[in-house]
Structure 1
Amino acid sequence: MTARGKLNKAQHKELDEISDEIASFEESNYPFQAENLKEMIELLMFTEKNKQMLRIQYILIFFFFSCVITNVFAQDERPLWQKLRYLSEEEMRQPFGNERQLTVTDPPSGFIKNVAEYEAMQGVLIRYPLGIPVDLVAEMSKDAEVITLVANTSQKNSAINLFTQNGVNLDNCSFLEAPTNSHWTRDYGPWFIFDGDGKPGIVDFPYNRPRPADDEIPITVATHLGINIFNMDLIHTGGNYMCDGHGNGASTDLIWEENPGKTVESVARIMKDYLGIETYHVLTDPLDDYIKHIDCWGKFLSPGKVLIGQVPTTDHRYQDFENVAEYFGSKISPYGIPFEVYRVFTPGLNQNTPYTNSLILNDKVFVPITGNQWDDEALDAYELAMPGYQVFGILYNQWYNTDALHCRTREIADLGMLYIDHKPLLGRQTFSPETLFEADIKAFSDKGIIQDSVFVHYSINEPAFERALMTQNEDGKWIFSLPGFTGGEEVLYYIEAVDSSGRRATHPFIGEAEPHRFIMDEWQVILDFDRDTIEFNSAEQMLSGIEWTIINQSVLPVTIDSFTYEPDPSISFELTCGELLPVQLQTGDSLSVLLRFLPPVPADGIHYFDSLYVHSGSSKFPVFVRADFGLNTEHTGLDVFTVLTFPNPASDQINFRFELSTAGLVELQVFDISGKLIHNHREYFHTGQNLMYWSFKERDLCAGPYHYVIRTDGNTSRGSILIQGKE
């Protein structure tokens, strides 16, 4: 029995009041249980007879308690129910149920495009009474429709009066009369898609708060816009979801916690079926806070960029934030390369720095700022990551680390969007003399694309842009091939399109202010020969010569400038090709060259020469030349058909197995690709099967092909071996 059983009635009442104050802490991950604190208070109440002293003890206990949890909640002094975006403590304690009894529908048909925040928007959804400063409304209304949810005509008139007094462009304002429970339009607002027929729609879900009025808003907006709505059976919230418009979505593992009856696979399947999400990134929340919404620490900025918050190295959450940044940095973006990860400093805790909780509205970015020392740095981070955009710092004293500007706004997709789908050329590109630009372009307005208004704007090694008309091929793709590359060019480019509705779109979204960029690799001269080795086996053949062929396998014409060689000084030879050098070869063309020795030539013996080199510009290509006299002499001895090499390829030793019909000396010679002798060994072997080995473990040899010759007094065997690089 605890001390509670010995308290008087008044003390019981006081304890109940205090218990109510600490009850909200019971669900938190503190290093102790709130019930333990409650028992401490009971004990003090029982033993303390002086009520004034009792109050002092209460104060001391709560002072100690508040010190312990300062590191957890110092950034936000609001009650827990407010931090969790509940409307009251009672609502927070209310078991969640589908208050609206949402009826699940079939998913959209065909290929589904989930619209990303950084794509074209026609407006933004907010709620009155406002949860945002009115100057933000004024700025958004300059070039986008502001749709304001109001409960009735009286609220509408109040909103109009407020907007008029503060310079809001009422021509770009509309009002939807619908009851709401809260101003968090991000959390309960509509998610936009285009279905396989190119029709816009809204995907709805059971909102993860017991607010039936808020939960009806997607239906209200769909009716207002005259578009289809699709209901998925997945408890969710807009603040815990972001997408890149190309089949990637992301949330924290709150999505799994709030759908305990579903497997990880079934959650992913629903996201794919209704939103077209092929890859659903579900991450542990690095914020280590109560809300677990991804927009409190991360944001897709474009198909290739993501912004992640950052905390000091001394912060216990530091590694969690770094892990998330590294995670995205390791994932391939829709552009075919890893995501570019940008960071913004969000120390939080005892100051509000909710900088990732921003809103992208076409070419404007609205960043919540709170008047602290990190505001300017945050705005700089956005300007670095999003050149060409207008970055606005929105100062407000009601922004919190887990509840700011993004939470209280919801962009409305442009239902007639002109959409350019293009996988950009980025980084270093393998050389090609011409480059193909290709895009799929869709006018969701069904007004049609103006054929002579689709361009590639490009710049090669200079700041000025040129433009070239793209044409539509038989597959419906828009293409343009840019010729004239010679290697090493830096290319900046963007694609532009116009449709008959008057819409203009560029890719990337911001166009010339941040064009795509690639560098064309230097092109390589590639020459091939019809034989690896030019081999002479008689004095007569040396004098008459051997013809061999050079083939240009390069993507561009090459010029054969000269031939060089370093032969045995006692022997001379010449090359003739029927044309005076230099000779230009077009791609695929060949050149025949005659190589012959000049007299006198040795009548007998074996001679090896270094490689003959073919020069083209700064490139040179070796051809192995070998002269072996006496090959036609009749001998017996080595059975050339039974020489085996193993292992081949080899990394440290290779074995040669052969059969002798007569005992005698056997010579092994190994040559590198240039013809240089690198190994020579002679050994006596008996009749029958024999094994000779060559160990090169201690030698620093280049990986690649090598030639070998095995000789006896009676015959010769040749072949190739391959040396592998050492691990």
Structure 2
Amino acid sequence: MYFLFSILYLSILFSENEKSLPHYFTEEELINKSLIYSMSRDTEPPLSPVRNIAEFEPMQGVLIRYPFGISTSMIQEIAEDVIIYCLVSQALQNSAYNSMNNAGVDMSKVEFITGSTDSYWTRDYGPWWVVDGNKNIGVVDFTYNRPRPNDNAAPYKVSDYLNTSYYATDVVHCGGNYMTDGYGISASSTLVYEENNMSNNQVNQNMLDYYGVHTYHTVEDPNNTYIDHIDCWGKFLSPQKLLIRSVSGTHPQYNEIEEVVSYFESTLNSYGEPWEIFRVYTPNNQPYTNSLILNNKVFVPLMNSSWDDDALDVYEQALPGYEILGYTGSWESTDALHCRTKGIPDLGMIQIFHNPLNDIYEPQIEGYNVLATIDDLSQMGLVYDDLKVFWKNNSSSEFMPIQMSICDIDIPDCYQSNIPPQQEDTDIQYFITAQDYSGRYDRLPIAGYYDFSVVATQLFDSGDINMDNITNILDVVLIVNYVLGIGELDPYQIQLSDLNNDMIINILDVILIVNLILEN
């Protein structure tokens, strides 16, 4: 009876407040803060193993709310690539449509999920996504840490609209105070412990059972604000990279921020390696870490500050190949565009997992082994001929493909290929691609490339295409057949054939190899 009264009370209290509720607790909400716990929808956890999907994985859409918290120009940009899922009350749906349509948004990319909301912080109350033991994507809900029943109901509405599984834990939490690497490591401020009526160990167990989080980093919030959200000072950029704000030594929070940096420097990523930590300068508490990674784009909040360009540069250095886009708005140090958007994952994505190669300082006769696990959640089947590694070195103008094959070691869904040994010291850039029979084509990283440095492995001289330590007419036959399209060469043989280092094997290389033979 108390539960029904509480929900009814809260619904009446907030039903008319779609435009007015702030990010922080109102005075009335503080009085009724205990009613948060009546909003819980605890269910059994998903079938294990469970994997929590990260922000930087393939997304099919973005969840926003009307009245908007972001500009229609940003909505227009998002809709160029993915679906806009817009939470809106039935009474305001026409207004939402007209607002976007008048701004030039592609309305074929907009879908409305009807129902009242209390605020536009979809990051904080929106759905968290997992892949369960049946390899299905579903929602695992939490109890929103504000006594706002309409917002708290949003994850269920989204799950119902998309026809996905729905689970819920009674952990009180919010999305702005949570980030995950997609491999079982997550992080929050200690607010998550403070706002729950259970022990820290019970919170951690819930995170393991419902989200597959085996390592939960919880740190004291270094910003000393009312919000204590991790996205106000840090962000996982990938399973290997972490962005943390920086300030001058005279800033009142300098010591606290550097303590957080030291903490993460003492921890390891999911592959047992140190984090690659990037710093973005926020001298006046600019919310540069409060960005949205959306497939191959990164949306960064700008403050019309002299430090805006430097912030964009940091993202470009950390995520080479991504399109970095800056947007102004009604941002605050505690609230920017990440707080007001929430990615919706591609429900049939191709999962690609790979630990990027590190610099290699010894010659590698077998080349450089690229190993990845690739799994199509569409369950339509992988197109094996399209599982490839694309690579290039300092002399290359274009990426060259190498076919992947099933791994020699007994790992499910494991594929590998070898980037050939290099004739000289060089940097290598590469990425992995996969296609399935649903028509999906995914790559890792989603944009850009991985890179590592190698030293030369002098195995054979240029022109010795058959690798018998003699350059002769047999090598000429091989290269001619390749140029004519009646013969194949492996990636290392192609390197040996490219005598003019233009990354194209043609008649010019044939002439050079003939001259090389005549000179000898």
TM-score by length of 2: 0.80
In the other structure, the counterpart of 1:694 is: none
* One of 307, 310, 327 as aligned partner of 1:377: 310
In the other structure, the counterpart of 1:111 is: 49
CA distance in 1, matches of 2:427, 2:84: 42
Contact 2:365 2:457 in 1 (8 A): no
Superposed, which structure 2 residues align to 1:514-529 within 5 Å? 514-520=449-455
The amino acid across from 1:332 in the alignment is L
Contact 1:241 1:249 in 2 (8 A): yes
CA distance in 1, matches of 2:369, 2:316: 31
Structure 1, unmatched stretches of 5+, are 1-80, 524-556, 558-727
In the other structure, the counterpart of 2:496 is: none
Query: Post-superposition shift, 1:483?
Result: 5.0
In the other structure, the counterpart of 1:427 is: 359
Structure 1 position 469 matched with structure 2 position 407: no
Contact 2:132 2:138 in 1 (8 A): yes
Query: Post-superposition shift, 1:289?
Result: 1.0
Query: Post-superposition shift, 1:101?
Result: 4.1
Query: Post-superposition shift, 1:379?
Result: 1.6
* One of 197, 205, 209 as aligned partner of 1:273: 209
In the other structure, the counterpart of 1:251 is: 188
The amino acid across from 2:169 in the alignment is M
In the other structure, the counterpart of 2:133 is: 196
Contact 1:124 1:147 in 2 (8 A): yes
SS at match of 2:334: coil
Superposed, which structure 2 residues align to 1:597-612 within 5 Å? none
CA distance in 2, matches of 1:486, 1:373: 45
The amino acid across from 1:166 in the alignment is A
Query: Post-superposition shift, 1:515?
Result: 2.4
In the other structure, the counterpart of 2:343 is: 411
SS at match of 2:264: helix
Contact 1:334 1:423 in 2 (8 A): no
Measured at CA, do residues 432 and 384 of structure 1 come closer, stay the same or move farther in structure 2, by a change above 3 Å?
Answer: closer
Measured at CA, do residues 258 and 448 of structure 1 come closer, stay the same or move farther in structure 2, by a change above 3 Å?
Answer: same
CA distance in 2, matches of 1:315, 1:248: 30
Contact 2:33 2:146 in 1 (8 A): no
Query: Post-superposition shift, 1:295?
Result: 0.5
Superposed, which structure 2 residues align to 1:531-542 within 5 Å? none
Measured at CA, do residues 463 and 322 of structure 1 come closer, stay the same or move farther in structure 2, by a change above 3 Å?
Answer: farther
Contact 1:99 1:211 in 2 (8 A): no
CA distance in 2, matches of 1:280, 1:187: 19
CA distance in 1, matches of 2:350, 2:98: 35
The amino acid across from 1:500 in the alignment is Y
SS at match of 1:232: strand
Question: Residues 266-323 of structure 1, C-alpha deviation per residue, up to 9 Å, x if partnerless?
Answer: 2211111111111111011111111100001111111111111111210121111112
Structure 1 position 85 matched with structure 2 position 24: yes
The amino acid across from 2:40 in the alignment is L
The amino acid across from 1:185 in the alignment is T
Question: Residues 669-701 of structure 1, C-alpha deviation per residue, up to 9 Å, x if partnerless?
Answer: xxxxxxxxxxxxxxxxxxxxxxxxxxxxxxxxx
**Identity between Structure 1 and Structure 2 (%):** 42
Query: Post-superposition shift, 1:484?
Result: 4.5
Question: Residues 576-595 of structure 1, C-alpha deviation per residue, up to 9 Å, x if partnerless?
Answer: xxxxxxxxxxxxxxxxxxxx
The structure carrying a bigger helix percent of its residues is 2
The amino acid across from 1:217 in the alignment is A
SS at match of 1:377: helix
Query: Post-superposition shift, 1:108?
Result: 1.4
Query: Post-superposition shift, 1:329?
Result: 2.7
Question: Residues 458-515 of structure 1, C-alpha deviation per residue, up to 9 Å, x if partnerless?
Answer: 22452343211112247442122345467855433221111112211222221xx332
In the other structure, the counterpart of 1:47 is: none
SS at match of 1:235: strand
Structure 1 position 452 matched with structure 2 position 389: no
Query: Post-superposition shift, 1:328?
Result: 2.0
Count residues in correspondence. 438
CA distance in 2, matches of 1:417, 1:177: 26
Query: Post-superposition shift, 1:118?
Result: 0.8
The amino acid across from 1:519 in the alignment is V
CA distance in 1, matches of 2:30, 2:62: 28
In the other structure, the counterpart of 2:3 is: none
The structure carrying a bigger strand percent of its residues is 1
In the other structure, the counterpart of 1:313 is: 249
In the other structure, the counterpart of 2:13 is: none
In the other structure, the counterpart of 2:512 is: none
In the other structure, the counterpart of 2:290 is: 357
Question: Residues 340-366 of structure 1, C-alpha deviation per residue, up to 9 Å, x if partnerless?
Answer: 1111111236xxx11111111111111
Superposed, which structure 2 residues align to 1:224-303 within 5 Å? 224-262=161-199, 264-303=200-239
Query: Post-superposition shift, 1:371?
Result: 1.5
Superposed, which structure 2 residues align to 1:682-721 within 5 Å? none
CA distance in 1, matches of 2:423, 2:76: 52
Question: Residues 80-111 of structure 1, C-alpha deviation per residue, up to 9 Å, x if partnerless?
Answer: x977523x321233232246543322211122
In the other structure, the counterpart of 2:437 is: 500
Highest Rg: 1 or 2?
1
The amino acid across from 1:85 in the alignment is Y
Contact 1:122 1:145 in 2 (8 A): yes
CA distance in 2, matches of 1:218, 1:437: 38
Contact 1:428 1:521 in 2 (8 A): no
Structure 1 position 367 matched with structure 2 position 300: yes
Structure 1 position 94 matched with structure 2 position 32: yes
The amino acid across from 1:380 in the alignment is D
TM-score by length of 1: 0.57
SS at match of 2:251: coil
Query: Post-superposition shift, 1:335?
Result: 4.4
Contact 1:201 1:228 in 2 (8 A): yes
CA distance in 2, matches of 1:367, 1:101: 33
SS at match of 1:109: coil
